[in-house]
Amino acid sequence: MLGAVRLGVPESRRTLAIYVAAGASFAALSARGLTVPLYAHELGADRFQVGALFSVATLAAALLSMPSGVLIDRFGTRTLLALSILISAGSQLAMTATTSVPPLFLWQIVGGLAIGAQQAALFSAVTALVPSGRLGRSMGWLTFSMQVGFFMGPSVAGVLLQWIDLRTDIAVTTVMLVLAVPGALVASSAPQSGKRLSLMEPLRALVRQPSFAPVTIGLVASTLAWGTVGAFLPIFGKESLGLPSAQIGLMLAIQAVANGLARLPGGRLVDRAKRRWPIVFVGVMVWSVAAIVLGHLTGFWGPVILLVLATPFIATVYVAIGVVFGDLSAASTRGVTMGAYGTVLFLGLAAGPLIFGPIVQSYGYAAGFTTCGVVAMVLALVMAAFHAEPLRKRSEVQLPPASPGT
């Protein structure tokens, strides 16, 4: 906080800059989500390898999310956010020099590490700026900004493919990350904790809270279904729907619009809701059914209409879960809490393509999407069985006394 105050930047502008940074970083990420699967497919990757490329990136993001949270609590967000932007840009540019499938896995891992740090930093920055009563709306705006990025990324990348090849497209869309630099500059450089906390102390305190288990199960359910469809959607559009690359990019962009527009009313709904688990339950169920139906559709408009109708439900799920994790955090352990959120989020996104990818490879998209949808619905039922209420207000996590000299 002190670093930004010395810069003389008003709080509203700081928040806006963070929203822009989120949009820019996710624009580059979503452009990569379109171009890399298509480029890998062009280089000879099979369906499982394409899904694995998505999974290794998200596994790497999960690996760094928790350590990033500790670093944020100790050193602030600015350095970590700036460094992650540079690493993300470097990994994306390195892909343009790649002419075979195996090196793509390396650069996906490097890029995944960067996005894990970015996610923890962006969410921590917002939760530090806004009070609990407005956290749903702020999470709505933050994730809306991300979805604007998800719209811009494939839109720009898809249009550019009409004039340039995939390798050049990957390089050109890296420029979007420049817009994230101001957000990194105004982010706080002050530590959020005056103590030298270990990772395990705040993590144990987080896990002991009653809301942690059910919200984690709900997050796993949503990410399994969302990640599986998202990982295979580009090549599903190519192989099963028979769409050209530009139309696949348009389909992803339209879905991102529906996703983004749902975040703002979704944030208000979450702030006003007395119970949040029903929002998660209904959203997971609707998206799972949509995933099952999607595998049986053909053409362009049928899948697009289905995605537009179903995506707002899963979008509101992520707003609700983000708010619950924000309420579970304390000022001194905010980074670790949001790092835990990122870890579970990315592990779920990575697990989906790895678990259901072999089914897609052997039995087709319909079988893979159906199996994934059924598993997600079962997990949603388990979450509902807990019937535990998320906290309505942030509470300071009780930590063990500091040892002498710390």
The series of mean pLDDT values per 10 residues for the chain, 406 residues long, is 44 77 85 84 83 81 74 71 86 87 89 82 73 68 80 82 85 86 66 54 75 90 93 89 85 84 85 86 96 94 95 92 76 66 82 90 93 96 75 42 36
CA distance 34 to 28: 10
User: In this structure, what token pair is assigned to residue 169?
Assistant: 């497209």
124's CB contacts (< 8 A; 6+ apart) are 69, 72, 77, 192, 334, 335, 338
CA 372 from chain center: how many Å? Answer: 19
In whole angstroms, give the CA distance from residue 155 to residue 252. Answer: 8
The answer to whether 375 and 227 are in contact (CB under 8 A) is no
CA angle at 259 for the pair 388 and 324, rounded to the nearest 5°: 25
The 10 Å CB-count burial string (b at 16+, else e) for 369-403 is bbbbbebbbebbeebbeeeeebbeebeebebeeee
With CA atoms as reference, report the closest residue to 138 among 268, 321, 315: 268
The CATH code of domain 2-191+199-386 reads 1.20.1250.20
Closest to 365 in 3D by CA, of 200, 242, 278: 242
Closest CA to 43 of 174, 172, 235: 235
Q: How far is CA 66 from CA 113, 155, 165, 291, in A?
A: 11, 32, 37, 30
pLDDT for the residue 398: 43
Instruction: Return the pLDDT at 121.
Output: 78
Write down the pLDDT at residue 401: 38
- Residue 294: what pLDDT? 96
Gap between the Cα atoms of 271 and 324, Å rounded? 10
The domain limits of the chain are 2-191+199-386
Contacts of 344 (CB under 8 A, 6+ apart): 62, 216, 219, 220, 223
Report the predicted TM-score, pTM, of the whole model to 2 decimal places: 0.70
